[in-house]
Amino acid sequence: MTHPAYPAARIVAPKIEAHFAQHAADAERRGIAGVPAPPDARTLEALIDAAFWASLRREESYVPKISMTFVSPEAAPHPLRFERPLPLDPDALVKVAPAVERAGIHLGVWRDPAGEDRGLCVWGTVRAIPPVSAVVEVAAPGLIVVKHHRGGPAAGKFVNVAVLEGDRIKIVDERASSLPDCPPLLTSLLGFDSPSSWVTDTETVNVLVQLAVSMRAHGRGGLLLVVPSGSAAWLESIVRPVPYAVDPPFQELAELTREPRETKRTRLWQETVNRAVDAIAGLTAVDGATVITAAYDVLAFGAKIARRKGSPQVEQVTITEPVEGNIAQTLHPTQLGGTRHLSSAQFVHDQRDAVALVASQDGRFTVFAWSPCEAMVHAHRVETLLL
């Protein structure tokens, strides 16, 4: 090796190996076709190690953006194959990074057929990959995300498996959505409907996940309130008049989600949804809250949250993060962040059938929902799932 080993890669590789082995076996039992052989711990360690050191390099002052997937050229639809495969080496990855930095393009990595030690090589690029394929992505310098593909062209965001930042390792807890009172909207946002749905539910796009990712991407911070359809109770917790009330409600995204399943399978539909999602997420960059219904009708943006008349001030919230080893804490909402976090906790405390999504400028992302079991607001830190 021409560079020192990344210790975190060796530590986390066996756990990630077990994850992919489990999901590949589950897909096989369900008769899902085209699932590739899961990577072993040695392969995962090599992929993570190369990605980590590449993330610390620069190519003409640019930070490399790289996504690699472990898949053979034969298993990848419409692969772009190099005449001479590249070594799985940080220098080689950084050199080719500008060609694959756009979303949806992955470097294909597989065992070198000419290598006596079954070493790994970069054989080319691919845009569509089989379900449950392992993906290793450089998110930022020293920040590596391991994820797997849900399957299908319209499957939306990949499912995060682990996040490594320097010597910090976060393994996503697949049981995080098993709370007895976890609301369906929050379960959907976390991306943990069920392991089988990651493979078979190929006709739908998780709209809330896309909204959360887009909110986080604009980097300005934002607040999105999801309120029940057909109810005006949310206005009791808003300062009026609302600066940017929307009348009639903006329904493009709502109408798209009601399209027939056959339409949802098309790339045109998915691209149209992406544009609508980005338009709504852009509204959250304006100071104040953006309000949408559970059916995705946009009602207002720039709204100021106020404590509902007669309601007590929220004094404590439970906070958790869906990673292994996390322990729930009970804190005053001011300890979670700034004004957005405090006002979101108050809103959900007063409007208990609503959910608040808060993006911070530093990349943190928190989902506030009322927990009947705990009889208090529950704050879910989910940025680990959105990288």
**CATH number where 369 lies:** 3.40.1700.10
CA 140 to chain centre: 15
Cα 251 from Cα 295, distance rounded (Å): 9
Contact 48, 6 (CB under 8 A): yes
In terms of domains, do 22 and 160 share one? yes
Q: Which of 125, 150, 171 delimits the end of a domain?
A: 171
Any alpha helices (H) in the chain, and if so which ranges?
7-29, 41-55, 90-96, 184-190, 195-200, 207-217, 252-257, 261-264, 267-283, 339-350, 383-386
In terms of domains, do 201 and 144 share one? no
SS3 assignment, position 41: helix
In terms of domains, do 328 and 215 share one? yes
* pLDDT value of residue 297: 97
In terms of domains, do 159 and 192 share one? no
In terms of domains, do 194 and 93 share one? no
* pLDDT value of residue 290: 98
The answer to whether residue 103 is domain-embedded is: yes
Cα 237 from Cα 235, distance rounded (Å): 5
* pLDDT value of residue 85: 92
H or E element at residue 358: strand 355-359
Q: Which of 113, 146, 171 delimits the end of a domain?
A: 171
The answer to whether residue 177 is domain-embedded is: no
In terms of domains, do 164 and 212 share one? no
- Compute the C-alpha angle 224/228/230, nearest 5°: 125
- Give the residue ranges of the chain where pLDDT is below 50: 1, 116, 153-155, 192-205
* Structural domains counted in the chain: 2
The answer to whether residue 46 is domain-embedded is: yes
Q: Which of 171, 197, 231 delimits the end of a domain?
A: 171
In terms of domains, do 151 and 236 share one? no
Contact 370, 349 (CB under 8 A): yes
The answer to whether residue 178 is domain-embedded is: no
In terms of domains, do 194 and 147 share one? no
In terms of domains, do 11 and 40 share one? yes
* pLDDT value of residue 201: 40
The answer to whether residue 1 is domain-embedded is: no
In terms of domains, do 112 and 256 share one? no
The answer to whether residue 326 is domain-embedded is: yes
The answer to whether residue 176 is domain-embedded is: no
Contact 280, 163 (CB under 8 A): no
In terms of domains, do 158 and 260 share one? no
The answer to whether residue 179 is domain-embedded is: no
Show the domain range for 124. 7-171
In terms of domains, do 55 and 88 share one? yes
